[in-house]
Amino acid sequence: MERLSAAVKKEFQQFRRDRLLIALILWTYTIEVVLCTIALSFDVTDLRIAVYDGEGSQASRRLVERFTASEYFSKALYIHGPGEIDRLLDGGQADMGIIIPPDFSKIMEQGRQADVQFIFGNTNPNTVNAAMGYSRHIITRFSYDTVAERLARLGYKLPQGIEPRIRVWFNPGLEFRYFMVISMIVLAGIIVGMIHPAATLVRELETGTVEQLMVTPLKRHEIIIAKLLPTITIAMLALFPSLAIAKIFGVPIKGSIPLFFLASAIFLLTSMGIGAFIATFARNLQQALLISFFILFPLMFLSGTIVPVESMPAALQYVSYASPVRYYMEISLGIFLKGVGLNILWPKFLFLLIFGALILLLSLRRLKLYG
């Protein structure tokens, strides 16, 4: 025990000396979380429309107003010839163009169908999809109202159809920031948890000081524990400001916070295990860091932290079952947004535990080669 505490003390001292490092770890857990949460979302809003209104009638203006009144579109840019749309879309000054034909209201008066052209000129397929969806909705609504008006003039009442009553669960305001905060905390965990231990361990391996450690009476697991403690301590401490940030952003914390800390501790140990495992394969620091990236990127992007796992091709969805990040993410979303407990989350915990134990054991074994 004394041995261990001395080793731990040494590691903490070494860690404390590197101020910039501590600052950067805190940065990923706090400022990066704030920046990303404020800035990033897949929501499509403020679409810029270029309108060529070939008729300029009351009806056509009413149609355009339907668009500009919606929160999804910003002010319409009126243009004088349909050709101008090309220029605006090419230059990226508009996201879509609407071309209203010159006989728009006349055709509608005759009970025929007026063709309104929509040109979607954003290169982002997600934005285009959303823009198309919004436009269809607005047009459907416009058509319905026009028909109802005309039927009323004929003395009919329009039958009521089916009204969807949509309720969004777990995140009724559809706030992307809830998801983003949690995702950034999870990502900070894997980045800090993996890279820092990999780097410190390999530094000892590189400078040969690990041999000195090996000939001390310290046991291998004691060395590992001493090496891992500073990282897990700072990462766990950094969770507190992160949680405060989550609170400020209004993220509901419906479930148990201790359970979240438990999950975080297991996850950090797992990440550090991966980091240590990588370190044993690297000859120098640069190698360790670069190998980390090979593992870090797939873990980061296949685990439902940026885009949902359900949107990935089936094969990759199966691959993602092997990622501890996926389980930590699902546990965190479950605890924060859904308020579920161990009774539902236990399989995910179990997997994290098994994965963490395996990877730590493996790196211990690999470390034996040095001793």
Partner 1 sequence: MILPALIKKEVREIARDPVTLATGAFLPLIMLFLFGYAISLDVKDVSLAVYDGDRTQESVRFIEAFTSGRYFTLRYYLDSPQEADDVLLRDGAEMVLAIPPNFARDLRAMQGTSVQLLIDGTFTATALVISDYASTIISAYSAEFLGRFLREKGIAMEAPVKVLPRIWYNPALSSVNYIVPGLFAVLLMALPPMLTALAIVREKERGTIEQIYVSPVRPAVFIFGKIIPYGIIAFVDMLIILTAGTVWFRVPFKGGLVILVATSVLYVFATVAIGLLVSTLVRTQVAAVLLSLVVTLMPSFLFSGFLFPIGSMPYVMQLYTYIFPARYFTQISRGVYLKGIGMEYLWGNILLLLVYGGVMFVLASLRFKKKVA
- Which residues from 121-160 bind partner 1, rule CB under 8 A? 121-130, 132-133, 135-137, 139-140, 142-143, 146-147, 150-151, 154, 156-160
* Sign (positive or negative) of CA dihedral 346, 347, 352, 358: positive
Site string for partner 1, 296-315 (x = CB under 8 A): -xx--xx-x-xxx-xxxx--
Q: How far is the CB of 217 from partner 1 (least distance, A)?
A: 28
The type of residue at 181 is V
Q: How far is the CB of 156 from partner 1 (least distance, A)?
A: 7
Q: How far is the CB of 357 from partner 1 (least distance, A)?
A: 25
Binders of partner 1 among residues 87 to 126 (CB under 8 A) are 89-92, 95, 108, 111-126
Tokens found for residue 127: 């934005």
Q: Is there a contact between 24 and 235 (Cβ–Cβ < 8 Å)?
A: no
Q: How far is the CB of 24 from partner 1 (least distance, A)?
A: 4
Does residue number 169 form part of the binding site for partner 1 (CB under 8 A)? Answer: yes
Q: Single out the residue of 194, 199, 226, 272 in contact with partner 1 (rule: CB under 8 A).
A: 199
**CA–CA gap between residue 28 and residue 332 (Å, rounded):** 18
Packing angle of the helix pair 176-207, 19-29 (nearest 10 deg): 160
Q: Single out the residue of 35, 152, 244, 322 in contact with partner 1 (rule: CB under 8 A).
A: 35
Closest to partner 1 by CB, 169 vs 258, is 169
**CA–CA gap between residue 260 and residue 269 (Å, rounded):** 14
Site string for partner 1, 200-229 (x = CB under 8 A): x--x--------------------------
Binders of partner 1 among residues 4 to 23 (CB under 8 A) are 18, 20-21
Tokens found for residue 94: 């508009």
Closest to partner 1 by CB, 258 vs 313, is 313
Q: How far is the CB of 2 from partner 1 (least distance, A)?
A: 29
Q: Single out the residue of 49, 194, 196, 255 in contact with partner 1 (rule: CB under 8 A).
A: 196
Q: What are the b/e assignments for 268-286, b being 16+ CB within 10 Å?
A: bbbbbbbbbbbbbebeebe
The DSSP output letter for 75 is E
Does residue number 171 form part of the binding site for partner 1 (CB under 8 A)? Answer: yes
Cβ-Cβ contacts under 8 Å for 142 (sequence gap 6 or more): 62, 63, 66
The type of residue at 241 is P
Q: What H or E segment, with its residue span, contains residue 49?
A: strand 47-53
